[in-house]
């Protein structure tokens, strides 16, 4: 009953938003809200901007794309700043077809759907309200009613420039239904809907021999010719093509470059002049954003054909590459799994991350810098802080290869392999090893992967496996540490006491005997060596720690276990190193004694309660780490 109530509420809200009045009443609305007369491009830009803009590292992140487009912030920034924004300001790019070019399953269709769904919602808001001549099949802009000779005066009074001519059908209706009195013409508020073919159109190519140009521009209604007496009477024409119905909004041209030429030429005058030819009428004005998408191979083939030069010059090509961030790739898989029938299967922690590592590695290109291998590059792209590298280095890396991210493994392949593993083996729980094994098995049957690429991809699976080995060992070792945080804090406090005494050339006092002791050099070095601090560099490292403590104290903040990234890593590694033998013995014993069994059960409970495993995946992890430590 709750869903029915929500449906009723939505219906009532839509009724409240409806508006109908005469053209003269519409002009009064425009005086109060001149933004109602915005163009299709302006409406799309304002919709994107209204969702919010965040400034991050000299880049803008448009929040409109956050929920559906992952890891493509820079591509989305370029799309908005180089196309939507100038087009909204009536600059020349609005006279271009927006062509999204990128690899399969890279997010092109998702992006277009996001814009279409967004426009449907936006036209229900005050800022995105759209008004049209009532009864017009093309939802025509009411301002087209203003005669050409008065438009300059109108712009001076209202501050609104009018573009486009009144359509043949509405020209006739003004005379026959309203006696030439444009002020009495009825205007209504409309709401974009792809399902109802209002303001959003989609054209998909089919067999060139059977597809009719009427799909784009409408057609003659032969059943009415006897009634109206002529094919040139607009009442005998069905203005129901995709270009007609998408007027005032978005027209998606799916796989545009696969279309027959006769369909593409219609777009030339529409993009350049804002009109198109239909039937035996004068040119029909249309205001719409035309957005198409294609892959790189088809695009290269298209521009190689000299016959397409005119259309090519009417395009703005925007690359939509694959995501290159591991954490964002993981989100893509999570989303795809949520939308599938495998969402109830337990996926062990780090499984999707390891799969994402492999996928991102296939998309990266080797750096020209000898100091950066693909693993470092992967980490830097994902925002990890690596010693010796800065944000400037990351920006330089991104500029090395303009086509980085335009090839590699696509997300669908990964999800297909995960699904295949689950269904074939009827599993209720999978881990990273299951997925890596399945990815490897699937490479041989992947038609588009060359033998050279296959060899590279097998190497990347090995790299991802090594990364998982380290993750798995750390996970188990963490679980073995009783009161992990407390142990880490105690060790750190001990280290800091010794560092302070060392730097100040002071002594420590034994809490039990009161005896004065020299700083414990063995303890300090055992921790520092975990992160590669050399004997020569130890003094500088220790002084840096003291400076950081002082800086925190000046700001009234407490220096804690999380305050220094490298020190935290060193403390963790030291704890893990001390526990390695305990972990090794406990996980590898085939017949554990009572004490060992108790420890194993504690670890399994910790993995389940605190790390997101279930009983099956926790026990598998323990067995695997035991085998790793015994190698």
Which candidate, 411, 220, 246, places its Cα nearest to that of 325? 411
pLDDT at 152 over 90: yes
Residue 205: both structure tokens together: 């190519």
- Bridge partners (DSSP) of residue 327 are none
pLDDT for 147 equals: 94
pLDDT for 486 equals: 74
Residue 196, Cβ neighbours under 10 Å: how many? Answer: 12
Cβ partners under 8 Å of residue 506, min gap 6: 500
Cα four-point dihedral sign 308, 312, 318, 324: positive
pLDDT at 483 over 60: no
Helix, strand or coil, per DSSP, at residue 467: helix
Band of pLDDT at residue 561, cut at 50, 70 and 90: confident
Instruction: Output the CA–CA distances (angstroms, integers) from residue 296 to 75, 287, 317, 319, 321, in the order listed.
Output: 16, 28, 11, 9, 10
pLDDT for 115 equals: 96
pLDDT for 210 equals: 65
pLDDT at 600 over 70: yes
* Distance, CA of 556 to chain centre: 39
Which candidate, 94, 178, 95, 88, places its Cα nearest to that of 133? 178
pLDDT at 214 over 90: no
pLDDT for 387 equals: 77
The pLDDT of 353-371, averaged and rounded, is: 93
Q: What is the pLDDT of residues 428-474, one digit of tens each?
A: 889 999 999 999 988 877 777 888 889 999 999 999 999 999 999 88
Cβ partners under 8 Å of residue 546, min gap 6: 499, 500, 503
Residue 186: both structure tokens together: 């009825």
pLDDT for 484 equals: 62
Instruction: Output the CA–CA distances (angstroms, integers) from residue 507 to 157, 543, 550, in the order listed.
Output: 85, 17, 20
Band of pLDDT at residue 209, cut at 50, 70 and 90: low
Q: What is the pLDDT of residues 32-45, one digit of tens each?
A: 999 999 999 999 99
Strand 250-253 relative to strand 200-203: parallel, antiparallel, unpaired? parallel
pLDDT for 1 equals: 57
The pLDDT of 273-288, averaged and rounded, is: 84
The pLDDT of 249-268, averaged and rounded, is: 81
Band of pLDDT at residue 302, cut at 50, 70 and 90: confident
Domain ranges of the chain: 3-319, 326-449, 473-630
pLDDT for 368 equals: 87
346 Ramachandran zone, left/alpha/beta (phi>0; psi -120 to 50): beta
Residue corresponding to tokens 């077809």: 97
3-7, 245-249, 594-598, 600-604: which is most confident: 245-249
- Please state which CATH number belongs to domain 3-319: 3.40.50.300
d(CA 460, CA 458): 5
- Give 528-531 contacts, CB < 8 A, sequence gap 24+: 528/570, 530/569, 530/570, 530/573, 530/574, 530/577, 531/566, 531/569, 531/570, 531/573
- Answer with the residue of higher pLDDT: 604 or 258: 604
pLDDT for 295 equals: 84
d(CA 62, CA 20): 34
d(CA 361, CA 374): 7
- For residues 623 and 434, the answer to whether their CB atoms sit within 8 Å is no
pLDDT at 246 over 80: yes
pLDDT at 364 over 80: yes
The pLDDT of 416-422, averaged and rounded, is: 86
Cα four-point dihedral sign 255, 257, 258, 259: positive
Instruction: Output the CA–CA distances (angstroms, integers) from residue 312 to 264, 303, 356, 406, 546, in the order listed.
Output: 11, 7, 36, 21, 62
Please give the full DSSP string across 564-625, using - where no structure is assigned: -HHHHHHHHHHHHHHHHHHHHHHHH-SS--HHHHHHHHHHHHHHHHHH---HHHHHHHHHHH
- Answer with the residue of higher pLDDT: 557 or 589: 557
Instruction: Output the CA–CA distances (angstroms, integers) from residue 239 to 73, 130, 189, 585, in the order listed.
Output: 39, 20, 20, 79
d(CA 497, CA 245): 75
pLDDT for 170 equals: 93
pLDDT at 9 over 60: yes
Residue corresponding to tokens 């969702």: 51
Which candidate, 227, 230, 253, 256, places its Cα nearest to that of 242? 253
Q: Which of 91-95, 389-393, 580-584 has the lowest mean pLDDT?
A: 580-584
Instruction: Output the CA–CA distances (angstroms, integers) from residue 317 to 43, 68, 116, 294, in the order listed.
Output: 21, 21, 19, 10
> Of all helices (H) and strands (E), which one includes residue 37?
none
- Answer with the residue of higher pLDDT: 143 or 205: 143
d(CA 630, CA 628): 5
Residue 161 has, within 13 A of its CA and on its CB side, a CA count of 4
Q: Which of 204-218, 283-297, 305-319 has the lowest mean pLDDT?
A: 204-218
Q: What is the pLDDT of residues 337-347, one digit of tens each?
A: 888 877 788 99
Which candidate, 150, 135, 109, places its Cα nearest to that of 27? 150
360 Ramachandran zone, left/alpha/beta (phi>0; psi -120 to 50): alpha
**What rounded mean pLDDT belongs to the chain?**
88
Q: Which of 438-442, 484-488, 520-524, 527-531 has the lowest mean pLDDT?
A: 484-488
- For residues 404 and 325, the answer to whether their CB atoms sit within 8 Å is no
pLDDT for 153 equals: 94
Quote the Cα angle for 393-396-402, to 5°: 145
Residue 241, Cβ neighbours under 10 Å: how many? Answer: 23
pLDDT for 405 equals: 92
Strand 219-220 relative to strand 130-133: parallel, antiparallel, unpaired? unpaired
Q: What is the pLDDT of residues 568-578, one digit of tens each?
A: 888 888 877 77
Percent of the chain with pLDDT over 90: 49
pLDDT for 584 equals: 72
- For residues 578 and 315, the answer to whether their CB atoms sit within 8 Å is no
pLDDT at 592 over 80: no
* Sheet strands (E) in 516-561: 516-517
Please give the full DSSP string across 234-300, using - where no structure is assigned: GGGEE--SHHHHTTTSEEEETTGGGS-HHHHHHHHHHHHHSEE--TTSSPEE---EEEEEE-HHHHH
């Amino acid at each position: 009953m709750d869903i029915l109530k929500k449906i009723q509420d939505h219906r009532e809200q839509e009724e409240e938003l409806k508006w109908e009045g005469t053209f003269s009443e519409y002009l009064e609305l425009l005086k109060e809200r001149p933004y109602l007369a915005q163009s299709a491009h302006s409406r799309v830009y304002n919709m994107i901007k209204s969702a919010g803009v965040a400034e991050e590292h000299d880049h803008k992140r448009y929040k409109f794309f956050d929920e559906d487009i992952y890891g493509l912030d820079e591509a989305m920034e370029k799309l908005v700043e180089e196309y939507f924004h100038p087009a909204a300001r009536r600059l020349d790019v609005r006279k271009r077809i927006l062509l999204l070019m990128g690899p399969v399953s890279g997010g092109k269709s998702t992006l277009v759907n996001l814009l279409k769904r967004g426009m449907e919602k936006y036209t229900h808001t005050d800022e995105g309200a759209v008004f049209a001549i009532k009864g017009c099949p093309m939802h025509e802009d009411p301002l087209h009613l203003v005669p050409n000779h008065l438009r300059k005066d109108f712009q001076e009074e209202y501050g609104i420039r009018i573009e486009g001519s009144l359509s043949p059908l509405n020209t006739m209706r003004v005379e026959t239904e309203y006696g030439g009195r444009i002020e009495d013409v009825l205007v209504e508020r409309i709401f974009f809907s792809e399902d109802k073919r209002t303001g959003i159109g989609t054209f998909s190519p089919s067999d060139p021999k059977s597809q009719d140009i009427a799909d784009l521009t409408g057609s003659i209604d032969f059943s009415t010719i006897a009634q109206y007496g002529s094919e040139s009477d607009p009442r005998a024409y069905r203005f129901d093509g995709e270009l007609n119905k998408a007027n005032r909004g978005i027209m998606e041209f799916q796989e545009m470059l696969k279309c027959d030429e006769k369909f593409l030429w219609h777009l030339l005058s529409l993009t350049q002049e804002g009109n198109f030819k239909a039937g035996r009428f004068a040119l029909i004005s249309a205001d719409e954003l035309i957005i198409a998408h294609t892959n790189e191979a088809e695009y290269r083939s298209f521009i190689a054909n000299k016959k397409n030069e005119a259309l090519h010059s009417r395009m703005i090509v925007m690359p939509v590459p694959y995501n290159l961030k591991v954490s964002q790739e993981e989100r893509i898989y999570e989303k795809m799994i949520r939308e599938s029938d495998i969402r109830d299967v337990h996926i062990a922690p780090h499984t999707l991350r390891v799969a994402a590592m492999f996928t991102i590695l296939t998309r990266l290109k080797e750096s020209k810098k000898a100091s950066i291998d693909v693993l470092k590059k992967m980490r830097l792209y994902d925002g990890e802080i690596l010693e010796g590298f800065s944000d400037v280095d990351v920006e330089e890396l991104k500029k090395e290869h303009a086509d980085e991210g335009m090839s590699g493994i696509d997300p669908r392949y990964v999800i297909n392999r995960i699904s295949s593993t689950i269904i074939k083996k009827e599993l209720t729980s999978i881990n990273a090893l299951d997925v890596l094994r399945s990815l490897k098995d699937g490479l041989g049957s992947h038609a588009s992967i060359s033998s050279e690429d296959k060899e590279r991809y097998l190497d990347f699976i090995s790299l991802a496996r090594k990364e998982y080995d380290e993750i798995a060992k750390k996970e188990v070792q963490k679980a073995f540490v009783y009161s992990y945080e407390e142990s880490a804090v105690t060790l750190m406090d001990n280290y800091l006491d010794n560092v302070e005494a060392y730097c100040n050339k002071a002594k420590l006092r034994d809490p039990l005997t009161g005896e004065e002791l020299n700083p414990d050099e063995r303890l300090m070095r055992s921790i520092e060596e975990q992160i590669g601090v050399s004997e020569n560099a130890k003094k500088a490292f220790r002084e840096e720690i003291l400076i950081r403590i002082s800086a925190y104290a000046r700001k009234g903040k407490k220096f804690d276990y999380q305050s220094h990234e490298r020190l935290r890593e060193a403390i963790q590694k030291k704890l893990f190193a001390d526990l390695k033998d305990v972990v090794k013995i406990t996980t590898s014993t085939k017949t554990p004694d009572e004490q060992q069994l108790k420890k194993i059960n504690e670890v399994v409970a910790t993995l389940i309660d605190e790390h997101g495993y279930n009983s099956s995946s926790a026990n598998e992890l323990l067995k695997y780490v035991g085998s790793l430590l015994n190698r």
